[in-house]
Structure 1
């Protein structure tokens, strides 16, 4: 059976931090599987590992926040990708504020959007959350270089994928 390794090895996609809140719980994780998937209506799809605490919170959340990271934000990627929220409150270590639907919005990101969860799709060991954008930060005058997969390929995940 063919795999994706050879194809995926040439990809160097941007990395995102996805955050969710449901009830009194907050969670966030580093995500590489995410993309705009429709222009009209505007839609964005984020894929979360079912092994991840963020998935367990997100499945009860009405909104998710998606944050693009600048190339100089490796420490943020390490916090949200290399640590698990089962052991610590990641939000005690970053500046954030509640966005629409209570989704935590990280203050120090070059771009973010909050989207209402429209649908959840089974994709194997990940679930896709189809988001309808309801808020985003205003664009800055300069587009900074983004943190990419190659920048964090050596990161040990807080949870297995």
Structure 2
């Protein structure tokens, strides 16, 4: 196929709508990014956390530059990543609820200030506290590179995933049982 035959978007389609539909096909782990200190705290649900390197430990997160979380990350140079388990669907919804703002999102839930001062949610599968190493602003979002300051890891075997406009709960133990019922060899799953 000649390069001129490749079309990224049809002229009569709404490109943004089509792009969103395409990206919804990509499953992503659900995390809550937290930021701020003291009473000036906020958080947001994201699926845009990914590893950048292990040596040294760095990660990437993409955040809308209009989000209140971005302003606090930029101001303090710190943020938390709270990776959600399958039983934390309510938290994912709470931190994506546009009616709740800033500190309100933390009311009535288990959280504490981490060693860096950023809010860390209790019962997460894993939490990471990061210092901003670099912010790369592009279009509506910023790519934030975080260097690991502190972390905690739970032994719970479940995860929350966002796919095709909905949340999916994944539990290693029960999902392996389901795979065994349909005769998928475990060697291919691990």
TM-score between both structures, scaled by the size of structure 2: 0.71
- Segments of structure 1 that go 5 or more residues without pairing to the other structure are 156-161
Shift of 1:73: 1.2
- Segments of structure 2 that go 5 or more residues without pairing to the other structure are 1-6, 10-18, 168-190
Q: Secondary structure at the match of 1:59?
A: helix
Query: Match for 1:71 among 86, 89, 93?
Result: 86
Aligned to 1:43: 58
Q: Secondary structure at the match of 2:101?
A: coil
Name the CA distance, whole Å, in 1 between partners of 2:136 and 2:60.
10
Larger Rg over CA atoms: 2
Structure 1 runs, 4 residues or longer, greater than 3 Å off = 3-7, 83-88
Q: Secondary structure at the match of 2:142?
A: strand
Q: Would you say how many aligned residue pairs link Structure 1 and Structure 2?
A: 152
**Does 1 or 2 have the higher relative contact order (CA < 8 Å, sep 6+)?**
1
After superposition, what is the alpha-carbon deviation per residue over 1:81-126, rounded to whole angstroms, capped at 9, x for unaligned?
Answer: 1235537611113111111321101012111111111111113211
TM-score between both structures, scaled by the size of structure 1: 0.82
Q: Secondary structure at the match of 1:120?
A: strand
Aligned to 1:2: 8
Change (3 A) 1:114 1:48: same
Query: Match for 1:110 among 119, 122, 125?
Result: 125
Aligned to 1:100: 115
Name the CA distance, whole Å, in 2 between partners of 1:98 and 1:77.
19
Shift of 1:29: 0.3
Aligned to 1:149: 162
User: Once superposed, what is the RMSD of the aligned Cα atoms?
Assistant: 2.3
1:89 aligns with 2:95: no
